[in-house]
Amino acid sequence: MTLSTRILLGLSLGLATGILHSGLDGRLLNSLPLFIEPIGSLWVNAIRMTVVPLIMALLVTSIAGQLEGGMLAKLGARTMGLFVMLIAGVCLYTLMLAPPLLSLLNIDQSIAADLLARTQSAAVATEELPAFQDWLVDLIPSNPFQAAADTALLPLLIFTALFACALRKIDKDKAGVILQFFAAIRDAMLVLIGWVMQLAPLGIFALVFSLAAEMGLSAITALASFIMIVCGLLVVATLLLYPTVVVLGRVPLRDFIRAVASVQVIGFSTRSSLVSLPAIFAATEALGLSRKVAGLVLPVAVTLFKFASPIARTTGTYFVATLYGIELGPAELVIIALAIGLLSFYSPGIPSGGLLIMSPVYISLGLPVEGIGILIAVDLIVDMFLAAANVTANVAVAVLLTRDDRLAAD
């Protein structure tokens, strides 16, 4: 049985047994999630401990050791250009599909007050959003070791890229020693990740079981109409990546499906692109992609590229307007899609950060900021599909950016 199959089995068993447990009663049974949940947390921590050294090693060895200056600049420009094109595409996709789908809902406006009362505490959390100028200043870390300890990924990414560029300017013998050091770290992390991934079925089972045991069937029925629409849009957008990779990336469909299956399950269960990075890198290795290109593209993609965020957040904003009986004209619909698309590149490292960044959009358009609290209440479910779409897109962009190298090699 392959690892991907075992991971899918762990996910299925976790969901089934967790929902079954939620319908049972008994003191011993009620305490069961308390014993199982730490197993999932331990597995996630085991992945997290490899992320920072892996990112630094990949960037240093790619920028300083393998990529020529002209190729580095060209690849960086192509990467950012592809990110912008895909974000623009999903914004247009959401703008075309979300409003007509939400218009089919028959929502009783009186339920807004009840939902608001239930989510008032979550809505208040919008006041904790860090100021943009603070985020901008913190991009250059005063202490890169502290940035690594805090998992402040974007500042760490910038420092590591600058450090790698500086290595290109010093004596080659001295730089070679440092490159060998980071190459050894990279290889050791990949071995360690292989060990951790063997435990993925158990870790995912524990994570999903605890979630399903806590939420039960409410995971399916809470605000079901909105959840079905937004998750459906996310699934369709994810499926559209497959023909894109086959036609433009020149990768066989079966190979791509096999490579991303385990990545999607890990993203779905952990709700984190960052935690999925080791599995994403392993998927690119399985597809035979250039390690030097993937080593540069993937850390940047995981940090900056939120492919599915505009879909979920824009649809959520349209839903809040529908819920409160606020009519949005064509201009407002376009502004919301564009603004959230741009804000997707700025995501604070706090819970529901992708939702909290929308408060300026709500204020400028006169939408109730309290509605963000309603979205936070169901974000647990939406975020699973969002993360699965994001990690699929991360592999897809690596495939697209390595196409020319692969065709030249053939």
DSSP one-letter code for 307? T
pLDDT in tens, 131-158: 567 767 878 888 888 888 877 777 888 8
Whether residue 240 is predicted with pLDDT greater than 50 in this model: the reply is yes
* Mean pLDDT of the 352-360 span: 62
For residues 72 and 57, give the distance between their C-alpha atoms in angstroms, rounded to a whole number. 16
- pLDDT-derived band at 125 (thresholds 50, 70, 90) equals very low
CA nearest 336: which of 352, 320, 353, 351?
320
* Mean residue pLDDT across the chain: 79
What's the pTM?
Answer: 0.75
For residue 358, count other CB atoms closer than 10 A to its CB: 25
**Mean pLDDT value of segment 34-58:** 83
**CATH T-level assignment (fold) for domain 3-409:** Proton glutamate symport protein (1.10.3860)
In contact, 195 and 3? CB cutoff 8 Å: no
